[in-house]
Amino acid sequence: MNHLIKWALCWTIILYSLTGFSNILILNGLTHEHAILGESAQVNGVIKLKNDADTPVKILIYKQEYLLACGQESNFSSTPTHSYSLTRYLSSPLSEKTLAPKEEFDLPYSVALPQSSSNGSYWSVIMIEAADPITSSDPSGVSINSKVRYAIQIIANKGAFESPKLSFLDVRYNTKNQQLSNSQVVVSLKNEGRFSAKTKVSLEIYNDKGEKIKIFESLSRRIYQGKCNTFEVDIAGLHKGKYEGILIADNGTDLFASNLELSIE
């Protein structure tokens, strides 16, 4: 089975994953976004936690950089390495906390950007980590100690939002187990603006008569300024043949399109 996509640009995948632990729940989401407008340069927020266990649980709380680079895997660091780092302006009064069984707790934090800071999206993460590892056993009977954590993204958008330009860097065809039902078009985009943008990619498919026959969509993902992200568009149900397509990246304000020729044989 041969598959062909014609495109003009290239890129590699950035992967980002979060781990969670069953005893501690984050009740109000893993991304907290704030707008900083006018003279105000400080905002406050809370991370709502719950200990869902029947025993006390101790957690550790600390800041990390969320590092992204086009063509490389994302990772975390304790040292700021980019001009839009929020770490130096982000604070929380606690470094650890023991939650009683079934206790809910609001972890406060504040962001204080200097008035002189440039407009744009600043970001960092607050880590919520279990102090004690979780012990489990694999089928062979070997005990495994896993220390897991949540990474909660904190984003501060300073100034009036400017819709960023999105560039198509790479488009490729991907199959799983060589089955058409698992086929994907994988799209890599770069954010050329100053603000991060939550983005969705859709693929409109046309037959040789120019008739639109299908529309496929990816999940929404955030692209930080100057960074890249990858979007998987499942095209299950698309039969063998040659198609014309239009890829559309929607950042919530503007649309960016690229033509596509797709051949499934």
Q: What is the mean pLDDT of residues 95-111?
A: 95
Rounded-to-integer distance, Cα 73 and Cα 71, Å: 7
Architecture field, domain 24-158: Sandwich (2.60)
DSSP state of 77: E
- pLDDT confidence bin for 21, thresholds 50/70/90: very low
Q: What is the CATH number of domain 3-14+163-264?
A: 2.60.40.10
- Contacts (Cβ under 8 Å, ≥6 apart) of 163: 193, 195, 197, 251, 252, 253, 254
Quote the pTM value. 0.78
Residue 208 is predicted with a pLDDT of 82
Is the predicted pLDDT of residue 107 greater than 80, yes or no?
yes
Segment 129-161, tens digit of pLDDT: 988 655 444 555 444 445 668 999 999 999 999
Residue 238 is predicted with a pLDDT of 84
Output the average pLDDT for the chain: 82
Segment 175-212, tens digit of pLDDT: 654 444 568 899 999 999 999 999 999 999 998 888 89
- The segment(s) of the chain belonging to CATH 2.60.40.10 are 3-14+163-264, 24-158
Rounded-to-integer distance, Cα 221 and Cα 59, Å: 28
Lowest-confidence range among 20-24, 56-60, 197-201?
A: 20-24
N-term to C-term CA, the chain? 6
